[in-house]
Amino acid sequence: MDHRSALITGASSGIGAAFARVLPAVTNLVLTGRDTGALDALARELDRPGRTIATVTADLGTDAGRDAVIAAGEAAGIDLLINNAGLGFFGPIPRVRPEDERAMVEVNVVTPVVLTRALLPGMLGRAKAANRRAGVIVVSSISAFLPVSRLATYAASKAFDLHYAEALAADLEGEPCDVVALCPGFTRTKFGERSGMKPWMFHGAASPERVARAGLEALGRRRTVVIGSGAVMAPLGARLLPRRWMSSGVVAAMKRLKQRSGM
């Protein structure tokens, strides 16, 4: 956790804001999100003598938004990229608006790829020049391990994030850059409210700070970190049990959620 400058997407609240709070006070920050007021408030909260904090209000579902964030990351000379921004909409596919389906793919899939590919060369160059290590954290989800009805596109996008991060780690073997795929279970953030899920679904959820700290502490130690509800059973079951068994179990669980939530 000795990175000099970190770029955090989706920093307005939740896990993104937690990353900003957990990082050492000597780490400069580039905070991005869509809520200008929340970003400015977080910047004021974390301001310290000698620390540089930049905020970038951007819609990461657009090329213009991604370009603005890339420019800010390059200007700050970042050595830690935290791809945290994500969108999710709860409900059967025919009831999710087409524009929301597309937005999930743009933010959850296209953005991590575009930002990582654009910023990685500079990060590697600076790490080699300073004899230090860079880092990339891709926030995936416990849902990445299985198809999940009523979260179909979200779960599929997070499966992409998981596979992308694990493959990126392999591609960077021998390079001065650590990569972590962070897979939280239910976490106490605004995600549930925004996605249309019910508050009772998040009973016993992990704190954003716990998730963020686990991701940072895993850099250089592990490629994949699963934390929170389902931390053992979901990935283990997905890899050891027949896929049709696990898929049937998920379908049954989501049907119960539908009955209880009325969705």
Q: Which residues are catalytic?
A: 154
CA 132 to chain centre: 24
- Tell me how far apart the alpha carbons of residues 18 and 28 are, in angstroms, rounded to a whole number: 15
- Tell me how far apart the alpha carbons of residues 155 and 160 are, in angstroms, rounded to a whole number: 9
Q: Are 79 and 132 in contact (CB under 8 A)?
A: yes
Beta strands, E only, the chain: 5-8, 28-33, 53-57, 80-83, 134-139, 177-184, 224-227
Cα–Cα distances (Å) from 228 to 34, 53, 84, 182, in that order, read: 27, 30, 17, 11
Q: Are 187 and 194 in contact (CB under 8 A)?
A: no
- Tell me how far apart the alpha carbons of residues 175 and 93 are, in angstroms, rounded to a whole number: 41
Structural tokens at position 207: 């704190």
